Structure 1
Amino acid sequence: MRATLPLSGVELRRHDDPEYPVEDPEFEPYAHQQDLRELFRSSGEFLAVNDSPTGGGKTMSWLAPVIERGEHALAVYPTNALIHDQYNQLTDELDENFPGQGSDVAVLPITADTLRTRYAAEYPDAKTNGERLRALLRTYVYQREDPVLVLTNPDILVMMRRHIYGRTGDPGSRVRQLNEFETVVVDEFHRANRKEQNTLLFSLDEMYDLSEFQCALSKIVLLSATPTTRLEHRFEEAMSAPYHRVTSERETTEERPFDEKPTNGWGAVMPPVDLDVRSASTFDTASELLGEDWDDTEAFARQPGRTVFILDGIHEVDEVYTRLSNALDNRTVVRIDGFHRGDLEEKLDDFDVLVSNSAVEVGIDFSVDRLVFSAPDRASFVQRLGRLRTESEPQLARCYVSSTAAASLSEIEHGGRIPRAQLVETLEDAYHDPQEFESFDWRYSAAEAHHHIERRARDANSERAKGIREEGWERILRHFGGGDPPLTRSDVEAHTDVIDNAVERTLQWYRGGSLQALVYDRTLGADDRIKTYDLFYLLRHGDVEFFSRTGFDEVVPDEHDDDVSHLAPYVTGYCTYDGTIETNDDGYGRSVRLEAISEIYGWLRADDGVDDETRKPRELGGISIDVDPDGADRITSIEHLRDEMCEDLDLLCYAVKKHPRQVKNQYDLGKFLFLYPLTVGDEQWCAALGVDALYLHCAVQESQNAVDLESLGIGL
């Protein structure tokens, strides 16, 4: 099914404001930039959400008032690639728009890689990332008088706050400089999942509530899409800081559509787009692009200007990139994904055709003339379409969506260009939202928070410990205790017991744990030869060979010894990588199957009465694995991985006695919650791993509770 939608552009009103703290006399701010600056000046303490359109200057909205006030600020970005892009953008902004004050501001990009490389050279006596981080911030926060902007990811923020970079029982090893930052900015907050949003909001609320001499945080800025009703309630009722939605009061007068060219005195933040809508299955857009649509694909990419393809899976990126590279001799074709993330600036400067996935979906700044994208859900559709920005002339785009979404979009009636608001409204009906895991909040986020509070209390004296526990419990009730019946301490402790040590090793992290392999990338032109990557993606799609740790050391050149030693403690297996395998006619690679070992038999067969509803997630010490097919793409070295996975795995698991497809359908799970077949004797089960195990457990429990209520005659 195909349809063409002529979409309007989006323009924002500019304002003559000589007092706005940008030194460029021609700069005219938008209303959301003025309003957030006024919050900084008048309130001093707040939680602000800026949901102005993509390309509308959200970065400047917080940067200008922070520079004006000369404060320390910490900006949190969802990916390391975005951190490095924003580092370049912010340093350019400081040079161009704040030449007087900007030269005094230190901008520090902090990731695991920069701590291990860039800052290791600066602090040679520091032996760990935690020691380097403390030394770095001590230098820039305590030993300088000028403002500091720290750019980091949510994992590192949470690790600093929860003292994971320090040593339990040694308060002196904490990253105390975190407490000196007056402002925390979180970019793309709406892209975080439920567990991530809960972790971040609870941590920021706790920091905000500390007395000023303990923590200076007073201003929280979320750069996000329009908040859902659930999040608005959370901001208003659970967070201590007064909540403000920056665009709410003037959104109807400050933003509007335009058809061809922006109005004088207004700025174009999104261009008009002629959108070609086509259908494809999730993770299978490449088959359409390279099959029936190949002539259109090649012609689209040959046009003058810059063309971007944004797909779902790395295997799709690999297929499309390879075909276009071979077909377009006179065009510079580049790829950016989890395996090809180096030389980012050079690629973005030089490309004619860029093939990527979610790695460039958010934030990273580059110009584009035409866009091809897949859209597995509503958020991805809006985000990826938003890569076309800040141009005034109509631009071309093609999207691939499910057949049902394509049908809904084709029914939009229009006599001219379609306002973006009308498109978004249609998308809300076109896409089915998978089940929300509402009970995750009180089952597992509360347990995670309780664990963190207990760690804080153990490190304090008895009097302070009592206050930490009391304040912590009140915060848990605000954030996670709104259900009926009310949440009790015994409820929280019961769920802490369920996951036991997994709270320590999995839930306390921002994203939760996952299985990673240490990879030696042998593909031509690989930028980072040694990297970690998702184990199950490699098993499904990678041309890989696994090794024991000793065998891996023998294969990898000596020049990479330091990288291997640093990353080895965090991985489950070791492999070489030589690209991706060919997918079958349905777009699938290998099939990954888990197999029970004695520990799993003991768990699943503990009692005859144990069933899906009464079984609880469990941390496993090991599990076995097998991969189909048996043909040319068989991983003959799988025994090396099995050896690693059968010992000291420490992985959360939840098992259901059904085939994965049945479970997905029964509990209305989304495409990005992965279930794996689990063989238990001659029975077919399925298993979810890591945080997915907790989500699946919530789905099963919520479904059972709904059945129980219906049996009692209570309507839902």
Structure 2
Amino acid sequence: MIIEGLSIPRYDAEPLREPFLPYGHQVTTRAVMKERDEFFLFITAPTGAGKTESWFVPALTGEDTGVFFALYPTNALALDQYRTISSLRDTLAPSRQVEFLDAERLTTLRDEYPVRVSKGEVITHILQKMSTQGGGIIVTNPDIFVLALKNVFIDPYVESAVRTCVSSVIFDEFHLYDLKQTDFLLFLFDDLISSKHCSIRKFIFLSATPSKGLIEKIRDVIGGDIIIADEFCDEKEVDQRLILPPVEMSFIPAKKFSSGEIFISRFFEFEPFLSGVRTAIIFDSAIEVAVVSEFLRANTSYRVCEQSGFRKDSMDEPFDILVGNKAVEVGIDFKGDYSIQHLIFSAFSVSEFLQRFGRLRNPDPEILYRAICFAPESVCSYFSQYESISRSQLKDGLERTMRDSRVYTSFRWRWGFLEAWEYICHRAYGYLASDIIQCREKKGFLSKTGGMTTKTREEYLVESANRMYQHYFSDISLDPRSISPFLIPLDKAKDSVLDIMAELSPFRGGGFSVVIYYEPSGKIQRYDLFFLLRWTEIEFLRCEAFVKKVPEDLRSSIKNYETGTIGFAYVTGMRTKPRSVKLEGRVIEQICLPEKRRIPCKERGLFPVVKDDDKRPIPGLSLIERELMVKGVFCRYLDLSAYQSRKYYELGDYTSLISYKGGSLAIGQDAFIADCAVAESLSYERDLPLIL
């Protein structure tokens, strides 16, 4: 089947960069950025149409534009875009500062100072310097932006610096943000623009598929000035330019997480597809990526670049085949030296398909682009009737035969509002839930040095409570008086409520991470405990022993990964068959409660039990057992097994579910999703949780 290429018009207008005529969304974006002081701009052009250039060229070349915070869903994509922006900066505006920030980069910059400073002071200094020079661009992830506004970086001025120095915030791939993230960000934007002392007034969203619900919420709740910049504008059209190539597409029936196994077992069919071209292979799980990469290294002479959340090979060396998972679909812009001609990928939802298939871009008319997709049988059967199909017909067919993961909207009013209330209290009183938890555990006194004056605080709390109601409860017309018992200062809240807020606080979730040294790649990183227990050859170590065992040149970097982790481990390789992992320990109270009274909470006294066929114990596992029993596991109990719960409640393949006492536990922020799934299945989703 041939999927037709896609062309969009170019217009008779001043180019963003010589000698390239601009697209419609580029013309609109430049005009909006130049002429308006406050807006919500949606740049909605197709993949490969220069959406990023449409904002960063005006940001670099404009006068006194202020500081831009450009947020990307993964550090890999942020770094890739930083390199692109920096390269053009050197040509367009050599004096304009562009900086990439993630946790590791902040640590490096902090350590370069001649005196002891915090990461917050580093951010403050960068912002103030950019502001005095007329503008600049900070390329980072949303966590850095949110943590700075929550003042987690131990600097009393960083929040103020963000509010007063930054003029614009850019969100790339915003459609990838989940309901929790989207709701909190929109609440945050509303809070920012309601302040007279905040300079952030311009918000730019980049997405090929903008959310109708998002646009409606900005219009109806925030009252924002919405502008849509698509591929058309009012200028005279000059020509049409091909941005996505025609692709010869084949479909192969498969089940989730089975594509790698099929690829290896039928490699003789795929081998000719790989010959003589640069190819990307995108599968679902890190273990599929690891097994396929190792197979290709052992059985072919191809240069293999492995890219997943677990292992990231250097992109500085040329490659023949890149093998990755979700980290690739939003982490690498396949252009220039990274451009690919063939693509093999799995897709089991519409958004997955469009995101991964969109990696075939930047067309060369001399090249035949080809793709193979592992997909459900229904998808394969539907498209077998076509010899040629347009891009719009492709999307329509996918929406007929696939569906995206279910979104549990009850999360908004059952749990999401507590994240907003914690933020309100942080601004009003100067502390977060984690500060109070730490104070109570150490039986110390809470330092009340931040926050607002009494008069300002009272006005802000009333305004913010009303704002929170509009963002989180207006959908269900709940009586505002019913939420008033929740709206108390955090130092008066129960421990269980504070635990919930602390679990909700990380923008992209927490979970249980371990600092590991991965011997095959020679790198130190953090990774999920339960994945490591299932899939790796691993030894857990005390910190001192871990430091001694890793290569000497990496020892100083260990401190960059320690925060929020529960241990250290040395990983020698991957397993071909997983271990079974479950949680054991005391009988938690949730088991004894009726379903409606169960809520996510922190349970202590639980530890992992690991089994495999060869009955070899994991060295040092007792270190993790003790740590988990003391720290506790934030979870929600389900009567059904992990497999049954996933299917019955439509929890999705990436939900963290662990077997426990005949049922299962949803772990971390997934505990809230599981709770909402149960509430909606039993039709009490409009009830507020019984946590008071």
Name the TM-score, length of structure 2 as normaliser. Answer: 0.89
Aligned with 2:101 (options 97, 110, 123):
110
> 2:679–2:685: 8 Å Cα contact kept in structure 1?
no
Are 2:528 and 1:543 aligned?
no
> 2:60–2:89: 8 Å Cα contact kept in structure 1?
no
Amino acid across the alignment from 2:225:
P
Are 2:28 and 1:55 aligned?
no
CA deviation profile, 1:68-92 (whole Å, cap 9, x unmatched): 4331211001111111111110012
Question: CA 1:363–1:539 in 2, change beyond 3 Å: closer, same or farther?
Answer: closer
Are 2:471 and 1:479 aligned?
yes
Within 5 Å, which residues of 2 pair with 1:84-99? 84-96=79-91, 98=92
Please state how far the C-alpha of 1:359 moved relative to its aligned partner. Answer: 1.8
Q: Distance in 2 between matches of 1:351 and 1:465?
A: 57
Are 2:233 and 1:282 aligned?
no
Q: Distance in 1 between matches of 2:685 and 2:422?
A: 32
Please state how far the C-alpha of 1:154 moved relative to its aligned partner. Answer: 0.5
Q: Distance in 2 between matches of 1:59 and 1:156?
A: 20
Secondary structure class of the residue paired with 1:265: strand
CA deviation profile, 1:199-239 (whole Å, cap 9, x unmatched): 2222222222221xx21111100111323332232222123
Please state how far the C-alpha of 1:178 moved relative to its aligned partner. Answer: 4.5
Are 2:444 and 1:453 aligned?
no
CA deviation profile, 1:455-503 (whole Å, cap 9, x unmatched): 2111100111012212212221221122334253543754986952235
Query: What's the counterpart of residue 583 of structure 2?
Result: 594
Within 5 Å, which residues of 2 pair with 1:535-684? 535-583=529-577, 589-597=578-586, 601-604=587-590, 610-631=593-614, 634-649=617-632, 651-679=633-661, 684=662
Aligned with 1:469 (options 418, 439, 461):
461
Amino acid across the alignment from 1:569:
T
CA deviation profile, 1:353-389 (whole Å, cap 9, x unmatched): 1111122212522300111111132111101100000
Query: What's the counterpart of residue 214 of structure 2?
Result: 231
Amino acid across the alignment from 1:84:
L
Are 2:374 and 1:400 aligned?
yes
Aligned with 2:391 (options 420, 423, 438):
420
Instruction: Say which is worse superposed, 59-68 or 73-82, in terms of deviation.
Output: 59-68
Amino acid across the alignment from 2:273:
F
Within 5 Å, which residues of 2 pair with 1:346-361? 346-347=316-317, 350-361=318-329
Amino acid across the alignment from 2:244:
M
Q: Distance in 2 between matches of 1:530 and 1:205?
A: 39
> 2:583–2:659: 8 Å Cα contact kept in structure 1?
yes
Please state how far the C-alpha of 1:295 moved relative to its aligned partner. Answer: 0.7
Please state how far the C-alpha of 1:548 moved relative to its aligned partner. Answer: 3.0
Question: CA 1:51–1:632 in 2, change beyond 3 Å: closer, same or farther?
Answer: farther
CA deviation profile, 1:532-591 (whole Å, cap 9, x unmatched): 1111111121111112334333433444333223432321122111121013xxxxx222
CA deviation profile, 1:328-370 (whole Å, cap 9, x unmatched): 22x32221222332533x14xx111111112221252230011
Amino acid across the alignment from 1:445:
G
Query: What's the counterpart of residue 345 of structure 2?
Result: 373
CA deviation profile, 1:380-409 (whole Å, cap 9, x unmatched): 110110000020434101111122332333
Q: Distance in 2 between matches of 1:552 and 1:63?
A: 43
Question: CA 1:38–1:499 in 2, change beyond 3 Å: closer, same or farther?
Answer: farther
Within 5 Å, which residues of 2 pair with 1:10-409? 10-18=6-14, 20=15, 22-24=16-18, 26-70=19-63, 71=65, 72-96=67-91, 98=92, 102-117=93-108, 119-141=109-131, 144-166=132-154, 171-172=156-157, 174=159, 176-211=161-196, 214-247=197-230, 265-291=239-265, 293-301=266-274, 303-329=275-301, 331-341=302-312, 343-344=314-315, 346-347=316-317, 350-362=318-330, 364-365=332-333, 366-393=338-365, 394-409=368-383
Q: Distance in 1 between matches of 2:384 and 2:417?
A: 44
Q: 5+ residue gaps in structure 1?
A: 255-263, 584-588, 710-716
Amino acid across the alignment from 1:131:
E
Query: What's the counterpart of residue 694 of structure 1?
Result: 672
Are 2:676 and 1:703 aligned?
no
Please state how far the C-alpha of 1:173 moved relative to its aligned partner. Answer: 6.0
CA deviation profile, 1:142-187 (whole Å, cap 9, x unmatched): xx424210011010100011111236xxx44645244311111000
Q: Distance in 1 between matches of 2:145 and 2:176?
A: 17
Q: Distance in 2 between matches of 1:595 and 1:509?
A: 27
What CA RMSD, in Å, does the superposition of the two structures yield over aligned residues?
2.5
Secondary structure class of the residue paired with 2:374: strand
Q: Distance in 2 between matches of 1:707 and 1:41?
A: 45
Q: Distance in 1 between matches of 2:658 and 2:295?
A: 31
Q: Distance in 1 between matches of 2:684 and 2:604?
A: 33
Secondary structure class of the residue paired with 1:501: helix
Q: Distance in 1 between matches of 2:242 and 2:618?
A: 52
Q: Distance in 1 between matches of 2:22 and 2:518?
A: 46
Please state how far the C-alpha of 1:624 moved relative to its aligned partner. Answer: 0.8
Aligned with 1:441 (options 392, 412, 416):
412
> 1:138–1:177: 8 Å Cα contact kept in structure 2?
no
Q: Distance in 2 between matches of 1:575 and 1:37?
A: 50
> 2:379–2:401: 8 Å Cα contact kept in structure 1?
yes
Q: Distance in 2 between matches of 1:633 and 1:397?
A: 42
Secondary structure class of the residue paired with 1:238: helix
Report sequence identity in percent: 28
Paired residue total: 652
Q: 5+ residue gaps in structure 2?
A: 430-450, 488-492, 688-692
